[in-house]
Chain A
Amino acid sequence: MNSQSKNKDIRLMAIFSVIVLTAPIWLEPLGASYPALLQKFAIFGIFAIGFNILFGLTGYLSFGHATFLGVGSYTAVWSFKLLSMNVIPGVIFGTILAGMLAVLIGYVSLRRSGIYFSILTLAFAQMSYNLAYSVLTPITNGETSLQLALDDPRIFDAARTASQGLPSTELFGLKMSGYPGFYFCAVVLIIAFYISMRIFRSPFGLKLRAIKSNQTRMKYIGFNTRPYLLWAFVISGMYAGLAGSLMAVTDPLAGAERMQWTASGEVVLMTILGGLGTLIGPIIGAGVIKYFENIFSAFNENVLHNIFSFLPDGLENVVVQVAGLFVGSGWHLTLGLLFMIVVIFLPGGIVEGIEKIRARFRRTSPASSSEKSE
């Protein structure tokens, strides 16, 4: 059975990779196939996968994960400024530094569980946000955001990039904007997904799930749960740092907004919307939210008039008026409605919805489908 499940995993990976790498094609009809948004899908996919390792497996809800995202971004931009425009050091340092910060925050926050843990992480996040926004202005450049400058040292490639204007991020000569940037993020997403899958399948993952279902019992059996929790926290922090550094790779600019509590809340929404504790759910959730944010918010009245032009004039105006509330700056309203529908009718997120639809076509035992929605 073991080798059989291994084969399944390999096939799952292959299918996942194909879907991710062909995203520019199958997203074309949805109007979402342009590099900046594709990069976002991949990056927030990574962020959500990492968050799911903590929240989905252990049930510990962190409200401060944007901190690690921000730290990853700032570190990567500093690596571009000081060392080299090559993205590899930026990504590595961003991930490691976020991990180190996660050790600190996790060590303190994990002394409590439940709502107290959430509040502690939120407090840390708010602290880091304010540090980045005003106190640490020399390092973060505050509201103006940390950006590259012509006179940055860039000790490893100053000679190469001099006299060309502002350099762009690159992977051994390949520019990291546009489609190459997306493919880089996509490859990292696939690796991140693989690691997450290994964690889900491993005894370590099983212990994390055990913590979620009954931590007290686990302690009585003789497990010290805290090291496992701390590891889960650090790993998911590193995922967030990785996502943050990729944001800097595709656009070398880091602002404190990235660390605001709304950004932390967003990843919670993504995970729940997609399907908490499932492998693929968080990525779907991230995709849906980013799609709404970028495409729905750009709809204006002209677009709506085009869509509803088949209706008679008077009716068309009414429909456009009403629909106008839900697009453009009102996209949050649509997202809120969608979120409510999902939480009320599909507590297992979009993944549960997909399962339910498939269950209609195929006979499945009810037991296994309820398992999935967990």
Chain B
Amino acid sequence: MSDFKKFNRREALKLGVAGAAFIGATPLFFNKDAWAAGFANDPGNSKSVILGFNVPQTGAYSEEGKDELRAYKLAVEHLNGGGDGGLMHTMKPMNLTGNGILGKKVEFVTGDTQTKAPAARDSAKRMIEKDGAIMVTGGSSSGVAIAVQGLCNEAKIMFMAGLTHSNDTTGKDKKRYGFRHFFNAYMSGQALAPILREEYGTDRRAYHLTADYSWGWTQEESIKNATEKLGWTTEIPVRTPLTQTDFSSYITQVINSEADVLVLNHYGKNMNDSLASAVQFGLRDKIAKTGKKWEVIVPLFSRKMAQGSGDDIKGILGSTNWNWSLPDDASKAFVKSFANKYGFPPSMAAHTCYVQTMLYADACERAGTFNPAGVIEALEGHKFDGMGNGPTEYRAEDHQCFKDVLVVRGNENPSTQFDLLKVVKVVPRAQVEYDASMFGGDLGPV
């Protein structure tokens, strides 16, 4: 019976280790409550404050995630008084001092969401429980953003959403502790519709290829509603998995359908892959069964995606939150500061993340505290300007920013490798606004 011999020896070692641990650490046992302070992760008397940057560094949206991280690092530099100060020169109202937040130096921790909700929550939990982050920010996938927002809300930690475009983030799944600067799918639909009518007329049939998760679903719905109001009809939408990289089988079905407009509810590398397939199959030069020329629309467009698609994106319509070619002072200042540091202009993902960090810091300064209760109050209904989108308001009812939306087109004759999107129209805020109760949901208590 060698079994029991084994335990004889093993147990001696274990008993020793366990005993030592028990004796050595018993007094610590009941002091481990991280939540004992007045609010979660109160920096108290510490000289620094920690922000958690939770972005995808792997997966379908990793390109956007990496750019977000660059923007966060830039924001931290500016908050701590380094660099050229970026948007701190144009932001109105502006309460930042360049001396950290409330006199505390800003430090940060990073995490990889892997573009997956469970991984993102794990990494956010680590930031909150281990690193003591006072605010978590990030995104690039709405599924991830919604999952992390829920987690932060439960932990009573501020969540400043990065790039997330689903209506649900500040609609059905809105949370008291979550705030979104980025625009949403509904706004894209409202902004695009008039231009689609001008360009493609009122008698079209749309075929939707949709990324199969929260964002894709709401964007498909928003674009469908907006275009059907123009008189368009819609084929039964086809959902594609986020992990899909080969879209050729989907595209052959598109070509054989009765439709004549392909709507790609895809983002990041997904969109690069599906558009590449469409171009390979000659979709953009084909005449559809309806006798009209095939058109492709990418409702959520970004320069990063355009870069990934190369020549394929020429002439394609879409909408964005912000573009580096905007002529206002704030956009110029941000592009300059970002390009000086990294050597290329920022993407819209970078812009929204930078702005979110600045807005959070500013709200803390105005509230005079890191206590989320005060910060939330300072952000709700906050009106600001000089951040690259013109006058903007954080609506108190759903924590969604309202501002102008850009309709863009893939540039036919780019002058540089970054000059890929041309702004067709700046759609005024009034045209994309909606009632706060439209998407349901409940912010819940503070």
Interface residues in chain A, defined as those with a beta carbon under 8 Å from any beta carbon in chain B:
1, 4-5, 8-9, 11-12, 15-16, 18-19, 22, 24-26, 28, 31, 34-37, 40, 133-134, 137, 142-145, 147-148, 150, 164-166, 168, 177-179, 201, 251, 253, 255, 257-258, 280, 294, 297-298, 300, 329, 358, 362, 364, 368, 371-372
Contacts and interface: CB of A to CB of B under 8 A. Distances in A.
B125 interface: yes
* 5 closest Cβ pairs, A-B complex: A165-B444, A143-B213, A25-B25, A36-B125, A34-B130
B35 A253 contact: no
Contacts of A358: 9, 13
Interface residues of B, number: 63
Contacts of B58: 329
B8 to A, nearest CB: 7
A37 B116 contact: no
B5 to A, nearest CB: 6
A12 B7 CA distance: 7
B49 interface: no
Contacts of B430: none
Given A12-B7, A368-B6, 17 more contacts: A5-B1, A8-B11, A25-B22, A37-B130, A133-B212, A137-B212, A143-B211, A143-B214, A143-B242, A166-B154, A168-B154, A253-B147, A257-B118, A257-B119, A280-B10, A298-B123, A358-B9
B contacts with A: majority SS: helix
Nearest to B6: A372
B214 A144 contact: yes
B2 A179 contact: no
Contact of A133 (B35, B121, B241): B241
Contacts of A201: 3
B164 to A, nearest CB: 12
B77 to A, nearest CB: 14
Contacts of B11: 8, 11-12, 15
B9 A142 contact: no
Contacts of B14: 15-16, 19
A165 B117 CA distance: 21
B28 interface: yes
A297 B7 CA distance: 35
Contacts of B7: 8-9, 11-12
A272 B150 CA distance: 36
Interface in B1-33: 1-11, 13-15, 17-18, 21-22, 24-25, 28-29, 32-33
B442 interface: yes
B239 interface: yes
Interface of B: 1-11, 13-15, 17-18, 21-22, 24-25, 28-29, 32-35, 57-58, 109-112, 116-119, 121-123, 125-126, 129-130, 143, 146-147, 150-151, 153-155, 176, 211-214, 239, 241-242, 441-442, 444-445
A148 B146 CA distance: 12
A164 B445 contact: yes
A40 B121 CA distance: 13
A35 B143 contact: no
Contacts of B445: 164-165
Nearest to A164: B445
A328 to B, nearest CB: 8
B25 A26 contact: yes
A192 B213 CA distance: 36
Contacts of B154: 166, 168, 177
A308 B394 CA distance: 45
A25 B29 contact: yes
